[in-house]
Amino acid sequence: MKQYIIRRILISLVVLFGVSFILYAIIHFMPGDFVTTITSGNPSITAEMKEKLKELYGVDKGLIEGYVSWAKAALHGDFGTSFVFKEPVVDIIKDKMWVSFWLSFIAFAIQLAIAIPLGVIAARKQYSKIDYGIVALALAGISLPSFFFAAVLQKIFAMDLGILPLQGMVTARKNLQGFPLILDMAKHFILPITVFVVTGMGAWLRYTRNNMLEVLNADYVRTARAKGVPERVVIGKHAFRNTLIPIVTMIGGSLPSLFAGAIITEGLFSIDGLGNVALKAVNQGDIPFLMGYFMFLAVLTLIGTLISDILYAVVDPRVKYN
């Protein structure tokens, strides 16, 4: 196991190098840049002044020269200073990612707590009314646009009933601290978490149901039933444990999304998370922040994949790493 982890880490470093260059090339060739964005519509800015500003912000360099300069600094932990927010990129990510994480993590935990049991129930009662109802619920969640559902929730619960906040993370003009502050933030998070859960639960539910059906039709499950093994043991010990193997893969792959933030939902509810900040950076061509942000997600993706591989051995003892 130790050799496997070391080998995967070394491969991940090579992958990160390739990913960083591709990302830099994509961002470098994006239409428009930060200087063009901030000077557009200002006739007093001359072409010479624009060139000096590009030199000041470091966006005048070619692809290779710019990447080498960025990579040297990144190897020392310096991802530069954000053009838009005027702060070190690392500090912005550290400050904003936990808002996105707790928002996404709570929603993610609720999704799994609802979707996995419902998926198992639907598989056990295939082609029944319960199965059709659960599948319809899953399809509705998958098909529901997050921006539309968020607007509906805001209209009903915030504007019409007035029982939940419309936007933001805390109530304005209230200097709350301690537990009252936590309760106030929890109240503000109810609607965005509901959007996350309803629109994201369907995919997990269908995935669990489909994998459970495949396992229930396997020979060893039929053999266990033929031997008179109680149904709860067949489902809980044999079928469900094998269903967890592909689910673990998806859970590991979901790690980046917990920190990345949801651009649409965070924007609609004015949540000051990483997704909302990334949207502003994209709109203004903030190269340092975008590079730091995407590399952060790339590292999390590789870590999530490694965690998934390791967890295989936990859910399936037959898996061995040499």
CATH code of 125's domain: 1.10.3720.10
Q: Which whole-number Å values give the CA distances from 87 to 90, 92, 93, 293, in the listed order?
A: 9, 7, 10, 14
- Predicted pLDDT at 301: 85
Query: Does residue 26 fall inside a structural domain?
Result: no
Average pLDDT per 10 consecutive residues for the chain, totaling 322 residues: 78 90 86 72 73 74 86 88 89 90 91 92 91 91 90 93 89 80 89 92 90 88 87 83 78 76 83 86 85 89 79 63 59
Report the number of distinct structural domains present in the chain. Answer: 1
Map tokens 């898996």 to a residue: 319
Query: Does residue 7 fall inside a structural domain?
Result: no
Query: Does residue 321 fall inside a structural domain?
Result: no
- Answering whether pTM is above 0.85, one says no
Would you say 84 and 284 are in contact if contact means Cβ atoms under 8 Å apart?
yes
- Predicted pLDDT at 279: 84
Q: Structural domain of residue 187, as residue ranges?
A: 98-283
Query: Does residue 28 fall inside a structural domain?
Result: no
- Predicted pLDDT at 149: 93
- Predicted pLDDT at 190: 93
Query: Does residue 54 fall inside a structural domain?
Result: no
- Predicted pLDDT at 160: 93
Nearest-angstrom CA–CA distance, 264 and 278: 11
- Predicted pLDDT at 242: 80
Would you say 92 and 85 are in contact if contact means Cβ atoms under 8 Å apart?
yes
Query: Does residue 134 fall inside a structural domain?
Result: yes
Query: Does residue 111 fall inside a structural domain?
Result: yes
- Predicted pLDDT at 306: 79
Give me the residues paired with residue 88 across strands: 81
Query: Does residue 304 fall inside a structural domain?
Result: no
* Among candidate residues 73, 12, 106, the one with its CA nearest the CA of residue 309: 12
